[in-house]
Structure 1
């Protein structure tokens, strides 16, 4: 284990706030100032390349134009050297004292990362392009560093929304500063084909464009063909792709293209319908498409010839070891009825369409292997049997990755709950439109990509980790930046820094300078981490609730009110948990130097008769959204519209059936249960909620039934089922049943599939 020195020898104020955190970093005395007289020493070709990168960076961001020389001197010099070593390819050492800055590594990758750490040690103003005169002073430090994982990736979906080459280059620059080294480029999906294939020109003439309904929400867009003068889309020429690949290589980033198959290819069939099962020309979808039944025909030899032609041009453009073929969410219903696919199943002696998918993927893999390339795909490629040499990108949780690693296949961990940057970062009502789940920065940071289920040998098959930004709801580069930062900083530390060297509070402290860098660089980053969050705890002994106020980025002081007014510096300053013994609304804000650094957030604690009750589940909730010992259903805290916020209890295809023991006989005048409606995530309201009461938990009487009178919408909302009693009743036990509709309704894309029922607080007054 590499130690992190806590002591500090510096005589001046040190700055070692590097992200991602190095494996070993020791502050030293003294400081070095980069000035116009400073030279850069480099001799080997790798060192000269790194020196040129540093030279151009300093020239573009400062008024310095340093000379690159091949002779050493004893002071006022940045020395970049290659060293003989059998250590990891990306390792480096950085040493700074009063006279010299020394960066050494066995390969260019390490030298480049040494330069990035040097950049991180400079004042945050270095990120701007204003050419302002400044003192570029670096505190003395010693760093010995190497990454934890070899795959440190970021995926950008350019199919759902198209981003210009200029933004792709910015994205690569920002990745490289955080020592991320794989750019997974999602170039093909149902809503657009984004890569030029010269042998098939209609892919860019037709499949790259869709009718322009960008003014409508993603889920409300019609399925129509593009119209003259009203189209949306674009594609990357082969020359542009070659330029981007070279640009990435200079920053030690490998570009891994994703060429989707066998599904997520509807756009393709707008140009070449003959490669589908039905052979019918389709429109390029303008928005949401589910279920995805359009699929390559696995029975036609022409299909595989087309795929091989496409992949041949892809391999000429991308020198990466891995080619990503997607493989996810393949609805195989068309294969079940396609005579060509059924003939293939019979000829190959396959058992079913699941085995046909394995045949499809394996055949593509053999083609790639012939050219010394390797196939990687989403974890659905495990279905029907994994191709012999394939690598797995595990997104539906960790289980696919665990299974593949136990089979000794390479794995990249990218589970939705930690790695999907299209999720909300904070309270839905304070954030721009995103996918329905919630992924704050601290949840990104807590991720450990190596599951406990793997032994030491199996763990070696975890190549690394990756963040993914799907862009159904991300139409602009500004929004893409917002969804990426600051979460990419947390992911970079997950990917680079050894688990034992990571610490959330230390990371929070180092992020203060990171946020300043975003401001200087003009990055439109999310401020969600500054908002005040609320955590409610129950004191069993005192029978009271306490509210803890906290922030993912505490840079100032928290002020709060309990009377519904807007908080300011004249309000209560938070110092310890707030005790609440009645229904109370808390509003809070974070203020620094007299100015708000967050939006106002609020929560209401609902204290009611059932707050002290013991709740029993007569039907067991899903293990994906379970209840807790102190039940979420009567813990006085309401969930948000984000169903993954830890306050909702979920039931898949089953009713909610619970009993609450109030502990003593109470007089009751009203009952209420709150439920969630989020059709995009297959969450529907109960058909009805029935309330019963009893004195002995044996003989129950009906208090009433509340039926669903809600009209369908597309946006998530809460919905209460209140029952106001005509006259009060006395009871010790309350029995509540919420009737699940059972299956997604006919109008829904998941028609016939089990529906979800979510409940939060049951309030008894």
Structure 2
């Protein structure tokens, strides 16, 4: 049926052109684009029995992180096809040797994620070489290696084109995040794990788990076991063991998991199990600032979290606090008067007291930008301000000497279905920040998948490929990023198709998030 093409689809067609067959292009179809990359013109065949070695490595891989990742990468390259062709007598890549210089395998914020990857065309045996300071750099190298390989339907072998390859790569920002929200809609553990797997393909490294909110409290808190009475149902919950499993799963893939409890607002569900957390039965949000029990519960949650979530940061929210319940509840109004506070003072008091609790458990704190906008000079100096509202906040944050994460909602909120991938790609975290010392205070950025209108049925196509567009902005050096996103349309289209081939329901590039394919045609032209 003939229909008018949308502008974005036309642009995609123009950018993609006729380069459908990867073997006849000279494009570097890696995503995100590495820091330095060069290649030749030789075709190699990947042995059906390709192996990984660690000669010269200081890392012992006792946890099997490298071994398991290598096997997953080999499976990704096969794409569930039967690799049953006959290996030729020459140009066969038989192995990958990985050299990791540090014996440490603890995933920490700011860990060295750089790597060097080379794929030669001479030598015997013919082996790719990976060199990294840490195992987590090596994991990124293996993901890059997997994108160089593809299943060829003629030879029925895995092939690697345009060898020799020499790649040197390091991330632009240490924090490259994706937020998921399990309060507005519950996400099964299997779905969360698949999101983590897909994050590794585009080198995102922080899963911001917005676990609880006003609508539901789905996670077990041993210190206060009635809190998860606020879950939607008995089946829509996470045990402590579930959380530990998710964190370990992510860490073994180089992804940190950061937990968030949003206080004092967004906490209606807390009072289902403990009604004394509510200001009153008729006015239930924010948490009762006058009741020490509120802070005892926060202390218990963060104490339990510290045994599960080992990432340097915890997110304490602090946004969208409507204080009318405080002034409208007699016992809180009396407490305010007795302590010579107005509601602004009480809001500050609640946030700062919560920060001290988190710090006592070994965390650095992240707060949404409202806390900075209202009392930035009072925040603990270790605070990271999470910018989501105003474009001019990040420059103000770093000028004040605080660290910042950028998630401006007009560009990097995935629940905004009219936000295009082009906008995700061109959104610059360092906009209007010219001083190098202040630029270093922007530790990175995050795309946010708020859950009001998504659940397990459509989360993947709502996240991808738009999150991948932001991932390149956060990984690749700014001088290698395209000013015009049309110049990367072809490469991102291929990456989106690769996600589809790997079983990820990434949506077509043309149109907005979750848009269905426009009409019959090859994947790269959707």
Identify the TM-score tier after normalising by the shorter chain: 0.7 to 0.9
Would you say 1:410 and 2:410 are equivalent positions?
no
8 Å Cα contact 1:264/1:295 also seen in 2: yes
Matches within 5 A, 1:50-449: 50-59=66-75, 62=78, 76-83=94-101, 89-98=112-121, 99-123=126-150, 134-140=157-163, 141-204=165-228, 206-209=229-232, 234-278=236-280, 280=281, 294-346=285-337, 349-350=340-341, 352-386=342-376, 387-388=379-380, 389-424=382-417, 438-449=418-429
Q: Is 2:454 the counterpart of 1:479?
A: no
CA distance in 1, matches of 2:393, 2:330: 32
The CA distance in 1 between the partners of 2:235 and 2:488, in whole Å, is 39
Match of 2:58 in 1: 44
Summarize the Cα distance change of 1:166–1:281 in structure 2 as closer, same or farther, 3 Å threshold.
farther
Pick one of 429, 439, 448 that aligns with 1:468. 448
Q: Which has the larger radius of gyration?
A: 1
- The answer for unaligned runs of 5 or more in structure 2 is 1-22, 84-91, 104-109
Which fold has the larger relative contact order, with Cα–Cα distance below 8 Å and residues 6 or more apart in sequence? 2
State the Cα distance separating 1:371 from its structure 2 match: 2.5
Runs of at least 5 residues in structure 1 that lack an aligned partner in the other structure:
1-10, 65-73, 127-131, 210-230, 283-292, 425-437, 533-551, 556-588, 599-765
Compared with structure 1, are the counterparts of its residues 470 and 232 closer, same or farther at alpha carbon in structure 2 (3 Å cutoff)?
farther
Corresponding residue for residue 518 of structure 1: 499
Cα offset for 1:57? 3.5
Does the 8 A contact of 1:160 with 1:189 survive in 2?
yes
Q: Which has the higher helix share?
A: 2
Q: Quick one: distance in 2 between partners of 1:124 and 1:259?
A: 44
1:498 maps onto 2:477 in alignment: yes
- What is the TM-score of this pair, normalised by structure 1? 0.57
Q: CA deviation at 1:364?
A: 1.2
Q: 1:46 to 1:530 in 2, by over 3 A?
A: farther
CA distance in 1, matches of 2:75, 2:409: 40
Mark the CA change 1:305 to 1:405 in structure 2 (over 3 Å): closer, same or farther: same
Q: CA deviation at 1:321?
A: 0.8
Asked if structure 2 preserves the Cα contact closer than 8 Å seen for 1:257 and 1:324, the reply is yes
8 Å contact kept, 2:320–2:370: yes
SS in 2 for 1:174: helix
Paired with 2:466 and 2:60, the residues of 1 have a C-alpha distance of 31
Secondary structure of 1:76's counterpart equals strand
Q: Partners of 1:241 and 1:263 in 2: how far apart?
A: 24
Q: 1:681-720 residue pairs with structure 2 within 5 A? A: none
Contact kept, 8 Å, 2:208 with 2:257, in 1: the verdict is yes
Number of the residue aligned with 2:19: none
C-alpha separation in 1, matches of 2:238 and 2:494: 36
Range 353-362 or range 42-51, more displaced? 42-51
Are residues 125 and 233 of structure 1, via their aligned partners in 2, closer, same or farther at CA, if it must alter by over 3 Å? farther
Query: More deviation in 324-333 or 386-395?
Result: 386-395
> In structure 2, how many angstroms separate the alpha carbons of the residues matched to 1:596 and 1:112?
27
Equivalent residue number for residue 20 of structure 2: none
SS in 2 for 1:144: strand
SS in 2 for 1:423: coil
Q: Distance in 2 between matches of 1:266 and 1:61?
A: 47
* Ranges of 4+ aligned residues in structure 1 off by more than 6 Å: none
SS of the residue aligned with 1:136? strand
Partner-residue secondary structure (3-state), 1:266: coil
Take 2:282 and 2:274, find their aligned partners in 1: how far apart are those partners? 7
Alpha-carbon separation, structure 2, partners of 1:277 and 1:100: 66
Equivalent residues, number? 470
When residues 531 and 181 of structure 1 are mapped into structure 2, their CA distance, relative to the original with a 3 A threshold, is closer
Secondary structure at the aligned position of 1:30 is classed as strand
Conservation of the 8 A alpha-carbon contact between 2:277 and 2:293: yes
83 and 277 in structure 1: CA distance in 2 versus 1, 3 angstrom threshold? same
Aligned mates of 2:269, 2:212 — CA distance in 1: 8
In structure 2, the CA distance between the partners of 1:103 and 1:488, relative to structure 1 (3 Å rule), is: same
Determine the structure 2 residue equivalent to 1:18.
30
Q: Note if contact 1:195-1:236 (Cα within 8 Å) is conserved in structure 2.
A: yes
* TM-score normalised by the chain length of structure 2: 0.82
Cα distance in 2 between the residues matched to 1:319 and 1:167: 22
Alignment of 1:539-550 (within 5 A): none
In structure 2, relative to structure 1, the CA distance for the partners of 1:442 and 1:314 (3 Å cut) is same
Task: Report the CA distance shift for 1:531/1:19 in structure 2 as closer, same or farther (over 3 A).
Answer: same
Deviations 1:443-485 (A, max 9, x none): 111100112145222221101010001111113x231111111
Question: 1:118: Cα distance to partner?
Answer: 0.5
SS of the equivalent of 1:261 reads coil
Structure 1 residues 239, 88: CA separation in 2 closer, same or farther (over 3 Å shift)?
A: closer
Moved more, 148-157 or 135-144: 135-144
Please give the per-residue CA displacement for 1:332-366, whole angstroms capped at 9, x wherever unaligned.
1112234444455456554x212211111111111
Cα offsets for 1:10-50 (capped at 9, x unmatched): x9865631111111111134344221343311143366632
Q: Determine which structure has the larger strand proportion and give its number.
A: 1
Judged with a 3 Å threshold, the aligned counterparts in structure 2 of structure 1 residues 521 and 55 are, in CA distance, closer, same or farther, namely closer
Per-residue CA deviations over 1:655-703 (Å, capped at 9, x if unaligned) read xxxxxxxxxxxxxxxxxxxxxxxxxxxxxxxxxxxxxxxxxxxxxxxxx
Q: Is the 8 A contact 1:82 1:107 kept in 2?
A: yes
RMSD (CA atoms): 3.1
CA distance in 2 between counterparts of 1:80 and 1:596 reads 33
Aligned counterparts of 1:138 and 1:88: Cα–Cα separation in 2? 32
Deviation digits for residues 71-100 of structure 1 (CA, Å, limit 9, x no counterpart): xxx973311002479x97011111111222
Structure 1 residue 499: deviation in Å? 1.6
Match of 2:4 in 1: none
Partners of 1:407 and 1:145 in 2: how far apart? 32
Report if the CA contact (8 A) 1:90-1:109 is conserved. yes
| 1:641 match | none
Cα distance in 2 for residues equivalent to 1:478 and 1:334: 36
